[in-house]
Each structure stands twice: as C-alpha cells, then as structure tokens.
Amino acid sequence: MKDVQAERDTREIPLNKVGIKDLLYPIRVLDRKNKYQSTVATVNMYVDLPKEFRGTHMSRFIEVLEKHKNTMAIHNIEKILEDMRDAFSASTSHIELKFPYFIRKKAPVSGIESFMNYTCGLMGTKTEKKFDLVVLVEVPIHNLCPCSKEISSRGAHNQRGVARIQVRMKKLVWFEELVEMAESAASAPVFSLLKREDEKYITERAYDNPRFVEDASREIALALKKDERITWFKVEVENYESIHNHNAYACVEFTNGL
C-alpha cells in the first residue's frame, strides 16, 4: 500500500510537534502504599517532524504505549520517550499524561475512611542528549479569607480552591508527599466523606488558620525549597471565590540552588 505520510514535502517547514492528543488509556502507576495503582490517563504524545516529510505514522504512538502500558512509572518515562524517538526516527519526543490518583483518607475526628481523588501527571521530553521530566499534582484545598475574618463580627467567607504543583527532581518524590505539602499549606484539607463531628473540626480549623492564595503558595514553596530532592518547582494556588465574581490567584516559580 502507498505510504502517503512518507511522501516528500517541498514546503520547507519543519514541525515542532506532531502526534496524538486526548487519548484515554488505562495505565498502572506507582503507589506509595500499595506499590501500584490502576487508573485511566489522558495521554498526549508528540515528536518533531523534519521538513522533508509530509506526515507521521500515528499508529506508532499507540504501539509504543501498548509496549509500556504496565510500566508507566516515573523511572520508565525516559525509556518510553526513547522508544518514540526510535519508532519515528525523531530528534525530540514528548509525552504528557494526566490521570486521577486515589488516596485513602481518614476523616479527622470520626476516623471514617474514603477515597479522595487528585489529578496527577507526568510530562517528559527527550532529545539525543537531554531528558526532562516534570511531575505535577492538582490538590483541592479549603481556604478561609483572613481579611473577611478580620473585618467581620461574625464568621468569615470560605472558598474551595486548588493548589497546582509542578516539580523537577533528582530523586523520587511521591504524589502523596506533594499532596501533603499542599494540604498543610491551606486553611484545611478537603475530604470526600465527613461526619458532623468532622465538619465541626474542619470549620473551626479553617477559621483558626486563615489563608490568602499568597499565603498558601508561599507555604508550599517553603516546603519545596527545603526538599533537597527537588531541583525546580512551580506553584499555583487558585481560590474559587465565594463572594466575588472572579477567582483569586497566586504563582511562584523557583530553581533550587539559585
């Protein structure tokens, strides 16, 4: 059969990324407590395309993914990217995975357990001489407004938000560790299942621990800066404001050692 993708292109324009986006795929990832966890990832895979080629053989992305479907661990991303470079004879390969990651959490007073889901991900790039990997988590959090508490005679307004953390590392940092950093920096963590005594505790804890987005982002940054395994990080905190028609946002990016 004629290989249309391999036809010569005369427009003299190389492409930075060609590939597949938003592929849903079952994978297994490392789990600190249970060794492995099965989940479903949204996958983006790309390679560069030289100017002389018209197209890319998209089926090869799935073939590479199939080869590694049971070994989707941080330590294996470089091998996946190298297999992509080989399959396409490409100079650069990219992979992006986002997936729900589940952690068993105990309610603070009743001790009742439930699954809490977090969005986690891996983003990797590979060239002949360089490999880059970014690990990310998105953590739901609860923040109480310090200004509202200060100026109000009764109560203070609360907002649910999200802390997004991206890191580069020298040694393995577990998703669970990043989640703990984010939750510790907020007014209070978020749970899937709470009884009345737990709701009372969380409400009062948040009131005693007010946080702006600026506060939460700085507290997360302090924890990340102290971790010698982490070489670079980016922290974003966004509050879904309860009494404003906009969100509050803060961001900090830092390279350890500089």
Per residue in 127-158, pLDDT (tens digit) is: 999 999 999 999 999 999 999 999 999 989 99
CB-based contact 118:100 (threshold 8 Å): yes
One domain, residues 112 and 169: no
One domain, residues 5 and 125: yes
Predicted local confidence at residue 8, as pLDDT: 66
Predicted local confidence at residue 256, as pLDDT: 78
Q: CA geometry: angle at 140 spanning 139 and 141, to 5°?
A: 110
Place of tokens 């590939």: 19
Query: Considering only 170-174, 187-191, 223-227, 241-245, which range has the smallest mean pLDDT?
Result: 241-245
| pLDDT surpassing 70 at residue 3 | no
One domain, residues 51 and 164: no
Q: How confident is the model at residue 61 (pLDDT cuts 50, 70, 90)?
A: very high
One domain, residues 165 and 203: yes
Mean pLDDT, the chain, whole residue set: 91
Rounded-to-10 torsion of CA 132, 139, 106, 184: 90
One domain, residues 141 and 237: yes
One domain, residues 162 and 242: yes
Domain boundary among 91, 110, 129: 129
One domain, residues 247 and 155: yes
> What pTM was computed for the model?
0.91
| pLDDT surpassing 60 at residue 258 | no
What does the pLDDT look like over 41-50, one tens digit per residue?
999 999 998 7
Predicted local confidence at residue 160, as pLDDT: 94
Q: Residue 195 and residue 142: Cα distance in Å, rounded?
A: 17
One domain, residues 65 and 141: no
Domain boundary among 75, 101, 129: 129
Alpha-carbon distances of 106 from 33, 118, 174, 190, 235, rounded to whole Å: 15, 15, 19, 11, 26
| pLDDT surpassing 90 at residue 183 | yes
Domain boundary among 100, 129, 158: 129
One domain, residues 68 and 159: no
Predicted local confidence at residue 155, as pLDDT: 85
Q: Residue 239 and residue 243: Cα distance in Å, rounded?
A: 11
Task: Please choose, from the candidates 191, 186, 175, 166, the residue with its C-alpha nearest in 3D space to the C-alpha of residue 100.
Answer: 175
| pLDDT surpassing 60 at residue 62 | yes
One domain, residues 116 and 145: no
Q: How many domains is the chain partitioned into structurally?
A: 2
Predicted local confidence at residue 112, as pLDDT: 97
Query: The domain spanning residue 151 has which CATH number?
Result: 3.10.270.10
Q: How confident is the model at residue 58 (pLDDT cuts 50, 70, 90)?
A: confident
Report which of residues 193 and 36 the model is more confident about.
Answer: 193
One domain, residues 93 and 211: no
Predicted local confidence at residue 181, as pLDDT: 97
Q: Could you write out the DSSP letters of every residue in 6-59?
A: TSB--S---EEEEEEEEEEEEEEEEETTTEEEEEEEEEEEEEEE-TTBS---TH
One domain, residues 109 and 143: no
Query: Which residues span the domain enclosing 43?
Result: 1-129
Query: Considering only 26-30, 108-112, 200-204, which range has the smallest mean pLDDT?
Result: 26-30
